[in-house]
């Protein structure tokens, strides 16, 4: 599985998540469209009701100091962690073709400043979502707690007036 890295605006830090899925059982899917023979796809997947002892971890790497810090944002069992990139113009993104294309493209940077970024934690049943401000020193501030008796969805937040509104 590919790691997703998001950099701080100044390039000193990057964040990523980590989860050990080795103990999860295989799930098989048969893709039988468009070819002469079906293709068997296998991947690790937790089915409803199966025990999962691993939890997702959020890591902050300090590129300058060459250190790794695990950020403690655990609240829900088997939670999901999300984080966002800031919006970029077509010029910054290499002409609108995505990062890495068009020459001189800006690498993806986190939504926030050099000192903090925004993240979310979501319960497995997706009925609880917290919007967080995570500081590079490891502090975590809960900005919004959303609770419902039905499924919730989260989108990338828009930051107004540098977060002062």
The structural domain count of the chain equals 1
What is the percent of the chain where pLDDT is above 70?
A: 85
48 belongs to a structural domain: no
Q: Identify whether 53 is part of a domain.
A: no
78 burial class (0-12, 13-18, 19+ CB within 10 angstroms)? middle
The pair of structure tokens assigned to 87 is: 């919006």
Name the stretches of the chain with pLDDT < 70.
1-2, 52-53, 89-106, 163, 165
Range of the domain at 93: 73-163
Q: Are 109 and 8 in contact (CB under 8 A)?
A: yes
Please check whether residue 33 lies inside any domain of the structure: no
Taking only the tens place, the pLDDT of each residue in 5-52 is 899 999 999 999 998 888 888 999 998 887 789 999 998 888 877 876
């Amino acid at each position: 599985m590919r790691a997703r890295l998001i950099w701080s605006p100044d390039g000193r830090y990057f964040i990523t998540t980590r989860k050990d899925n080795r103990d999860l059982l295989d799930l098989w899917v048969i893709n039988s469209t468009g070819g002469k023979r079906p293709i068997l796809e296998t991947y690790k997947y937790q089915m409803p009701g199966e025990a999962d002892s691993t939890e997702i971890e959020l890591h902050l790497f300090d590129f300058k100091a060459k250190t790794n810090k695990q950020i403690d944002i655990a609240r829900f069992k088997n939670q999901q962690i999300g984080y966002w990139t800031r919006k970029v113009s077509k010029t910054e993104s290499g002409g609108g073709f995505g990062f890495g294309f068009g020459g001189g493209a800006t690498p993806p940077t986190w939504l926030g400043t050099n000192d903090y970024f925004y993240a979310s934690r979501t319960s497995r049943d997706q009925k609880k979502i917290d919007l967080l401000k995570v500081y590079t020193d490891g502090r975590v501030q809960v900005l919004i707690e959303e609770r419902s008796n039905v499924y919730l969805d989260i989108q990338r937040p828009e930051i107004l007036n540098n977060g002062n509104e």
